[in-house]
Amino acid sequence: MTRTGKLPDVSIRSEEARLEQLVRELVETWSSTWTSKDTTAASKFYSKAPDLVFFDIGPIHVGWGQYRKNIEKSFEEIESLSLTLNEDLRVTVHGSMALTTATGRVSSKSEDDKSFDSNIRFTGVWEKKGRLWHLVHDHWSRSRV
């Protein structure tokens, strides 16, 4: 019971749980898309609003167009890429917005045989429009842990 003496609305809780599971599955699909280095496939996960800001381990990107262009340029030098998220993925849904956080690992090998391997932290802000969820902001950072 709540403080008002009313039973919590079970349908609201089950809808929140369903949305959290949906976003969790979406994040897992999204992360595997980056491993494939397929920016066309990754594109479906991002809002196309031109003024949105995305932070990755490298530069700041304004709008999906710039993000995609910068990432494709870096992919030209990368032979292989691996992105894995840990089991600590958290999803919080508030209406048409969702916040996702996770730790993970990113590894890459360049064509000149240089390797990069780092623990990472990831935060994603998702917005639902109609039936689709899109990232309106993401932030990657290296982690010492």
For residue 92, what are its two tokens? 């919080």
pLDDT at 127: 94
Q: What is the pTM of this model?
A: 0.80
Cα distance between residue 40 and residue 83, in whole Å? 17
Comparison of pLDDT for 23 and 55, the residue scoring more: 55
pLDDT at 48: 95
The SS3 assignment for 85 reads strand
The gap between the terminal CA atoms of the chain, to the nearest Å, is 41
Cα–Cα nearest to 28, from 84, 82, 81 = 84
pLDDT at 5: 52
Q: Which residue has the tokens 């994040």?
A: 27
Whether residue 1 is predicted with pLDDT greater than 70 in this model: the reply is: no
